[in-house]
Amino acid sequence: MVQPSADESLDGFRARVRAWFAENVQLTGGVKDESFDAVDVARRFQAALFDARLAGLTWPAEYGGQGLTTAHQLAFNEAAEPYVVPTMPLLIGLGMCAPTLLEKGTQEQREEHLARMLRGDEVWCQLFSEPGAGSDVAGLRTRAVRDGDDWVVTGQKVWTSGAHYSDYGLLLARTNPDVPKHLGLTMFVVDMRAPGVTIRPLRQITGGSGFNEVFFDDVHVPGDAVVGEVDRGWQAAVTTLMNERVSIGAGGGGLGRRLGGGEFAALADLARRRGGLADPVLRQSLASVFVEERLLELLSSRIREDVRAGRTPGPQGSVAKLAGAQLARHAAEVGLEVLGSGGAAWESDDADAERWTQALLGAPGNAIAGGTPEIMKNILGERVLGLPREPAVDRDVPFRELRVGGGRS
Amino acid sequence: MVQPSADESLDGFRARVRAWFAENVQLTGGVKDESFDAVDVARRFQAALFDARLAGLTWPAEYGGQGLTTAHQLAFNEAAEPYVVPTMPLLIGLGMCAPTLLEKGTQEQREEHLARMLRGDEVWCQLFSEPGAGSDVAGLRTRAVRDGDDWVVTGQKVWTSGAHYSDYGLLLARTNPDVPKHLGLTMFVVDMRAPGVTIRPLRQITGGSGFNEVFFDDVHVPGDAVVGEVDRGWQAAVTTLMNERVSIGAGGGGLGRRLGGGEFAALADLARRRGGLADPVLRQSLASVFVEERLLELLSSRIREDVRAGRTPGPQGSVAKLAGAQLARHAAEVGLEVLGSGGAAWESDDADAERWTQALLGAPGNAIAGGTPEIMKNILGERVLGLPREPAVDRDVPFRELRVGGGRS
Amino acid sequence: MSAPTVAGDLRASVRGYLESAAPEAEVRRIAETPSGSDPAVWARLADLGLTGLGVPEDFGGAGAGFAELGVVLEELGRSLLPAPFFSTAVLGVQALLLSGDAAAQAEYLPQVAEGRLRVAVGTVGASTVAAVPGSRGWLLDGLADGVLDGATADLVLVFAAADDGPALFAVPADAAGLSRTPLRTLDLTRRQARVELHATPAVLVGSAGDGGRVAAALLDRALAALAAEQVGGAQRVLEMAVEYARTRYQFGRSIGSFQAVKHRCADMLIDVERARVAADAALAAVDTSAADLPVAARVAGTFCGEAYFAAAASNIQVHGGIGFTWEHPAHLYYRRAKSSQLLFGSPGEHREELMRQLGH
Amino acid sequence: MSAPTVAGDLRASVRGYLESAAPEAEVRRIAETPSGSDPAVWARLADLGLTGLGVPEDFGGAGAGFAELGVVLEELGRSLLPAPFFSTAVLGVQALLLSGDAAAQAEYLPQVAEGRLRVAVGTVGASTVAAVPGSRGWLLDGLADGVLDGATADLVLVFAAADDGPALFAVPADAAGLSRTPLRTLDLTRRQARVELHATPAVLVGSAGDGGRVAAALLDRALAALAAEQVGGAQRVLEMAVEYARTRYQFGRSIGSFQAVKHRCADMLIDVERARVAADAALAAVDTSAADLPVAARVAGTFCGEAYFAAAASNIQVHGGIGFTWEHPAHLYYRRAKSSQLLFGSPGEHREELMRQLGH
């Protein structure tokens, strides 16, 4: 294995990364879902990366990082780009939880967890969303009440990716309901195997279960698990959310390949095999899918260029999210259009019908997960175009008096 | 002419209306725009109707009405339905201004104006909207200041239909800027030929001028011109606006014919003559126009049934307004699709290109006039579906401190 | 008794029954049974006079028209109760009536009215069946795909090509050489089957060569009936979305007070109102034997199908994450809406046929 | 100097010129002149080096590629300045370059660079011209419709059918038998003409039989160039809508704080961002002679055209009544947007051609 030297140049570093990937290619690729196997693959990959001193490039050396520059990170991203980097199950921990601990955590928290996260020894999840607090995260109701030096947590979280394989979670809970909603929240590190934590997979309309519900039933959390200050958890949560899309450690590759996954080619092939490629009306739909997909590729390649060049990406990220959801829905509808009545009923060995009905069922969730279109458009309107926010009605009201959640149907 | 008898039955009344229309058919029909000629036609028609004791059926007899029942009005509408009733230029006066005077005006105002409006001797317009007060009518800035017993009006109104041929207008002006916006408005009757009133036609993007700007430059209005109470003009304006769509006097016919004016037939004919009727993609568009048009016909026929049966129409009115605007835009776009490059440039004798480019240019105004889609959808969401209003930020603020209008581009 | 009252009474009684006897949990329970239906429910629908609603009085039915059938279909569209109403009481009964075959009518229709016979119809588009005269009657070969409730029906009616042209045939469930394969379905609350026939004896229904006319007329009626069901489903998801938007609070406000949600609901309302007049017009065109029934049926077919699917998708969107869970009913309507759009031809096919019907 | 800087400098200088010399009032003034253009403006564009921007340095131009042309087109799309830039500096120059005719290039291109020659090109789709060899050269008969700036150009290039196949011909404005009729146009800021030729003497440009290739390549480039112009216009109407939404107050709030308006603006932004990458990709495909230029050009052609028109319509909608007045510039963009969508084929035609280019 190529070892780093004290006076390694950026070019030398890049060559070392390339060499490492070439040597360790058996550790990468081929893993696409979040099953337990995927976690094991991710842990092994991350451990090897850590041992090669290629994990946590810009993190301080005292917490297991390499203390290198952003230029090194960009060089790494460039060298890694040809590979599928199988770290998806670790990204919430490395990309969101770790930066939060670095910025807001105590010295003890950083020393206890960061290096272990960086080695893949600890997998983390994020526990913010609740049934009553979706788009409005700060409206959460999970309570943490003092019990001597400890805290006792009761409540329910939802849409927690990876809760079932995580060792720790970053929890946001309400510690003071008598102040406005943003002012009474505290962030905690919680042990996902502590007594009283119950994890239930959440079945989606596709039949799959990528997310979980997490129930806290009088879960004891030690006093030193507070991240940042008591009642100042919203500031810590903003740190977490701001890091949501920043790629840390081994990340950076794969975005372009994940977006726009060849829907047009698949649809054209479907239309050729099942008939319809000669239908002028269907050809219009197919061409529209091609256009949408091409534009998404162009957008994500522009995002990658920006990231590579160290520029903050423009609005293309939010645009790509919205356009991606639109493409997924559009492609699925065209798929059903090609299948016709064969998309309403099919024999169990009909892989085409399975694929496109699953796509149709997955499309609404695609649009909702990671920010509803409404929230994304608010962001574009307010942060990019500079349009004013709505008048807030919940800023100065004690949380106790605020109506949150609900929803009957 | 058939004369009413003291003990005329409803059937007798209906027969009399039919007979009157049959006898006076030369007074009806054929007038489609708001030119001065149209006003003259309307005045003549209305005078004849009045003389036949068929105007103001449900109005009190003391103001020139007939004091009949709603059943008579419905019978009239039914009998009139086969005819194009040329009273469009009078409808703002009869349909909005007169009911306001009836409900909120002084005895003197009613006696002076109502019978004359009913005879077509006075044509009225409505002066509410301003450049700074469009969807938000109550945000208007035209001032009326006391001058002894009189008032002096200064300001600008806009989107005033028929201002150039009107004798009087119902003006809403601000008389107290130190109270919240709805509380400092007063309604006045203004003489449209008073010194200081300037009327300027407003050229639209189609090139036509259906609306006017009206400027008030120190216009003196006598104290007895106040409708209702000083500073209670908003209540009077609500009366006016609530009557916007109620059909009075000779109204009732024509709605169904006005909506859905044969766009599909025209487009199919265009496609046949200019080529494209065999194009499967275009055929889809044409069929969509047919569907939209058919649905609009069905909606308006349901509205007519409701009106005939004396039921308050459901949400179909707002739905028809939105669907009509959508159809107009859609049809125009399909028209341009058929014309192709011939819709971008054409010889001056090409009536097809003139028609469909005019339709394209008229479409946005069609959607805006009489309530923007945004306002219409608020109405549907709030009044029909029962969804809550937005939190109001302008209810308790003195108008003087409120930011209104503006808009730079 | 005036028509609105009849329709109103019928609606109230059907809705009352469905709300008490077929809440969501019961709908899910029946949908998850192996057969996807519950004989007891069918018996109860018969008791209520619904299985025979469209059966002429001479055959023991209520002799109602499509206005009344539409009311029931709308309510079933709201409820999603899995029951072979559409297949039996609409397609089956109408196919028999359109065939003009008095003997077949006399044999089958009373049993339908009594709830003793469930009928499935292989619609002509998805069918490739050939009929040949055998020594003791007709023999059928081929397959009919996507037959609604085809696996559980007691009698299958199929269109088959014979020498004189297409004709309608009746095949009892126990006929030799008949095999029926339940299919996987997008819609979890309505089953479909592939029906295969191998030298299967069948009885001609109506006249030889008359199947084309029957199939075309049946398609018009199927579209009108389906439109009513779609309106019921669309109205239900609109109500569901509005109720959630009204009572779900985020950022200190009911989410329905935000224009994005409010206008989405308004758009659903606009579509539902238009779908309703489209469906009503198509139903009325059947009842009045209007010449433009094929046009009215396709206007309804294209618009109601698209409006329902758009509304069902919007409903999920308004609900956010919860709308995307298996436990929430939103997806049952989303599935039904897309599936319905594909049953008797796609919206695009309806538009093309519309142009032909309009003489272009 | 790095490429972004060149483009940035060019953009700043062009925008600076247009904002100072061609404000809306000046655009309207020129548009209302009989010819719809102003020779002084053209001379000034020549002084700025813009008329020859795409002309090779050997012929006195700047030798810039489509990346730079795109910058100028984007700025002209923002401004709507009526000037024959698209017709002359894009279509005319590119047609001559694609023809490979060194003599024609040497004759015409320096004059274009100097601003002394305005060129119009009859694009092949709208042309029905036949060429026959006469005793003293070629003679053309037929008409080319919808020729951009066709009535004011000093030289008209037309594709004509000859015995060896289509070919490109040059016709000076004073040629015998040439008549040019200005057309009424939807777009008030770009004129079009019908060009008729009656035994009109013309000079062959390039090789006989090579016109098909030239026309196809020219169409790809025209679509890429038009896309850049469309992006400029779309960006401008987005800015206009946002500025109005920010500063217009109703109900005590900036209307841009209402989600209906905010999300409409966000939708415009989404379209503009996508249109921008589509146009950039098509321009880059020209500059790199990429094999998939025909695809990239049609992706841009269909998307940018639709995005611009949608944005221009949304801009009027955001403005409400004032956006529907003649005095407000919103309609000038609305007209340009729809007109541009129809210039070199409709979005639907581009999609069909895209499928062919993709081998389907």
pLDDT tens digits along C246-288? 999 999 999 999 999 999 999 999 999 999 999 999 999 999 9
C151 and C187 part of one domain = yes
d(CA A335, CA A327) in angstroms, rounded, equals 12
d(CA A277, CA A141) in angstroms, rounded, equals 53
d(CA C170, CA C193) in angstroms, rounded, equals 17
Asked if the Cβ–Cβ distance from D303 to A295 is below 8 Å, we say: yes
Contact D160, D143 (CB under 8 A): no
pLDDT one digit per residue (tens) for chain B, 409 residues: 455 666 788 899 999 999 998 888 777 755 444 445 788 889 999 999 999 999 999 889 999 999 998 888 888 888 887 887 888 889 899 989 999 999 999 999 999 999 999 999 999 999 999 999 988 999 999 999 999 999 999 999 999 999 999 999 999 999 999 999 999 999 999 999 999 999 999 999 999 888 999 999 999 999 999 999 999 999 999 888 877 644 332 233 333 333 335 899 999 999 999 999 999 999 999 999 999 999 999 998 888 787 777 776 677 788 988 999 999 999 999 999 999 999 999 999 999 999 999 999 999 988 887 788 999 999 999 999 999 999 888 888 898 888 888 876 5
Cα Rg of chain A, angstroms: 23
**Residues of A annotated as part of the active site:** 244
CATH code, domain with D155: 2.40.110.10
Q: Give the model's confidence band at C124: pLDDT under 50 very low, under 70 low, under 90 confident, else very high.
A: low
Which 3 state secondary structure label does DSSP give C328?
Answer: coil
B301 in any annotated domain: yes
With residue C184 as reference, give the H or E element that holds it: strand C184-185
A66 and A157 part of one domain = no
* Res. C150: pLDDT tops 90: yes
D281 and D309 part of one domain = yes
d(CA D52, CA D41) in angstroms, rounded, equals 14
Percent of chain C residues topping a pLDDT of 90: 95
Burial of D21 (0-12, 13-18, 19+ CB in 10 A): middle
Give the tokens for residue C204: 């001609």
Give the tokens for residue C143: 């397959």
B329 in any annotated domain: yes
C259 and C276 part of one domain = yes
User: Packing angle between helix A316-339 and helix D259-287, nearest 10 degrees?
Assistant: 90
A74 and A94 part of one domain = no
**What pLDDT shows up at residue C4?**
47
Provide, as residue numbers in chain C, all residues whose Cβ is less than 8 Å from the Cβ of D263: 259-260
What region, left, alpha or beta, does residue B80 occupy, with left being phi > 0 and alpha being psi -120 to 50 degrees?
alpha
User: B108 an active-site residue?
Assistant: no
- Residues 6 or more apart in contact with residue B341 via CB below 8 angstroms: D125, D126, D145, D146, D342, D343
Q: Name the residue of chain B whose CA is nearest to C254's CA.
A: B388
d(CA B247, CA C104) in angstroms, rounded, equals 56
Asked if the Cβ–Cβ distance from B344 to D343 is below 8 Å, we say: yes
Provide, as residue numbers in chain A, all residues whose Cβ is less than 8 Å from the Cβ of D277: 295, 298-299, 302, 316
Asked if the Cβ–Cβ distance from B279 to A281 is below 8 Å, we say: no
What is the number of domains present in chain B?
3
Determine the structural domain holding residue A44 and report its residue range: 10-86
What is the number of domains present in chain D?
3
CATH code, domain with B352: 1.20.140
Please check whether residue D319 touches B, CB under 8 A.
Answer: yes
Using CB atoms, pick whichever of B279, B280, B391 lies closest to residue A393.
B391
With residue C277 as reference, give the H or E element that holds it: helix C259-287
Give the tokens for residue A54: 């290629």
Give the tokens for residue C62: 């209520």
A238 in any annotated domain: no
Nearest-5° Cα angle at C340, C338 to C341: 65
Percent of chain D residues topping a pLDDT of 90: 95
Chain D (117-136) residues lying within 8 Å, Cβ to Cβ, of chain B: 125-126
CATH code, domain with D51: 1.10.540.10
**What pLDDT shows up at residue B77?**
82
Provide, as residue numbers in chain B, all residues whose Cβ is less than 8 Å from the Cβ of A393: 391
Q: What is the pLDDT of residues D312-350, one digit of tens each?
A: 999 999 999 999 999 999 999 999 999 999 999 999 999
Average pLDDT of span C96-107: 98
B215 and B264 part of one domain = no
A242 in any annotated domain: no
Average pLDDT of span A101-119: 95
- Residues 6 or more apart in contact with residue B244 via CB below 8 angstroms: B95, B96
**What pLDDT shows up at residue B408?**
65
Which 3 state secondary structure label does DSSP give C329?
Answer: coil
List the catalytic residue out of B78, B81, B244, B297: B244
Asked if the Cβ–Cβ distance from C343 to A344 is below 8 Å, we say: yes
B205 in any annotated domain: yes
d(CA A100, CA A96) in angstroms, rounded, equals 6
**What pLDDT shows up at residue B318?**
85
A276 and A325 part of one domain = yes
d(CA B348, CA B135) in angstroms, rounded, equals 38
Q: Give the model's confidence band at D306: pLDDT under 50 very low, under 70 low, under 90 confident, else very high.
A: very high
Determine the structural domain holding residue C146 and report its residue range: 119-209
Q: What is the pLDDT of residues A342-396, one digit of tens each?
A: 999 999 999 999 999 999 999 998 888 778 899 999 999 999 999 999 988 888 8
Contact C329, C255 (CB under 8 A): no
Query: How close is the nearest chain B Cα to the Cα of D91, in Å?
Result: 17
Using CB atoms, pick whichever of D243, D247, D325 lies closest to residue B205.
D325
Asked if the Cβ–Cβ distance from C263 to D260 is below 8 Å, we say: yes
**DSSP bridge pairs for A215:** A156, A198
Average pLDDT of span D89-107: 98
* Res. D260: pLDDT tops 90: yes
Domain end, chosen from D209, D230, D245, is at D209
Number of A to C CB contacts under 8 A, please give it: 146
**Structure letter (DSSP) for residue C325:** B
Q: What is the pLDDT of residues A2-11, one digit of tens each?
A: 556 667 888 9
What pTM was estimated for this model as a whole? 0.93
User: Packing angle between helix B351-368 and helix D330-343, nearest 10 degrees?
Assistant: 130
Q: Which amino acid is at D56?
A: P
- A87-101, A123-137, B112-126, B313-327: which has the minimum mean pLDDT? B313-327
* Res. A160: pLDDT tops 60: yes
C181 and C274 part of one domain = no
- Residues 6 or more apart in contact with residue D175 via CB below 8 angstroms: D200, D201, D202
Which 3 state secondary structure label does DSSP give B88?
Answer: helix
Which of D304, D314, D354 to probe by mutation at the A interface, max A CB count within 10 Å?
A: D354
Give the tokens for residue A198: 């119950």
**What pLDDT shows up at residue A187?**
98
Asked if the Cβ–Cβ distance from D281 to A298 is below 8 Å, we say: yes
Phi, psi torsion values for C250, nearest 5 degrees: -140, 145
d(CA B403, CA A391) in angstroms, rounded, equals 14
Q: Give the model's confidence band at A255: pLDDT under 50 very low, under 70 low, under 90 confident, else very high.
A: very low
Computed over every residue of chain A, the mean pLDDT equals 88
C4 vs C346, residue with greater confidence: C346
CATH code, domain with C347: 1.20.140.10
Asked if the Cβ–Cβ distance from A281 to B281 is below 8 Å, we say: yes
**What pLDDT shows up at residue A408?**
65
Pairing assessment for the beta strands B168-174 and B124-127 based on DSSP bridges: parallel
D48 and D59 part of one domain = yes
Give the tokens for residue B213: 């700007």
Provide, as residue numbers in chain D, all residues whose Cβ is less than 8 Å from the Cβ of B345: 145-146, 183-186, 192, 339
Give the tokens for residue C257: 């007070």
Burial of A148 (0-12, 13-18, 19+ CB in 10 A): exposed
**DSSP bridge pairs for B211:** B202
**What pLDDT shows up at residue A303?**
83
C169 and C63 part of one domain = no
Contact D310, D248 (CB under 8 A): no
Q: What is the pLDDT of residues A183-232, one digit of tens each?
A: 999 999 999 999 999 999 999 999 988 899 999 999 999 999 999 999 99
B196 and B278 part of one domain = no
Domain end, chosen from D182, D209, D236, is at D209
Q: What is the three-state SS of chain D?
A: CCHHHHHHHHHHHHHHHHHHHCCHHHHHHHHHCCCCCCHHHHHHHHHCCCCCCCCCHHHCCCCCCHHHHHHHHHHHHHHCCCCCHHHHHHHHHHHHHHHCCHHHHHHHHHHHHCCCCCEEEECHHHEEEEEEEECCEEEEEEEEEEEECCCCCCEEEEEEEECCEEEEEEEECCCCCEEEEECEECCCCCCEEEEEEEEEEEEEECCCCCHHHHHHHHHHHHHHHHHHHHHHHHHHHHHHHHHHHHHEEECCEEHHHCHHHHHHHHHHHHHHHHHHHHHHHHHHHHHCCCCCHHHHHHHHHHHHHHHHHHHHHHHHHHHHHHHHECCCCHHHHHHHHHHHHHHCECHHHHHHHHHHHCCC
Contact A323, A303 (CB under 8 A): no
C202 and C220 part of one domain = no
D196 and D216 part of one domain = no
C164 and C216 part of one domain = no
Provide, as residue numbers in chain D, all residues whose Cβ is less than 8 Å from the Cβ of B368: 316-317, 320-321, 323-324
- Residues 6 or more apart in contact with residue B35 via CB below 8 angstroms: none
Asked if the Cβ–Cβ distance from D266 to A380 is below 8 Å, we say: yes
Please check whether residue A279 touches B, CB under 8 A.
Answer: yes
The number of beta carbons lying within 10 Å of the beta carbon of residue C107 is 17
B94 in any annotated domain: yes
CATH code, domain with A150: 2.40.110.10
B386 in any annotated domain: no
Domain end, chosen from C193, C209, C225, is at C209
Q: What is the pLDDT of residues A140-151, one digit of tens each?
A: 999 999 999 999
B288 in any annotated domain: yes
Q: Name the residue of chain B whose CA is nearest to C271's CA.
A: B319
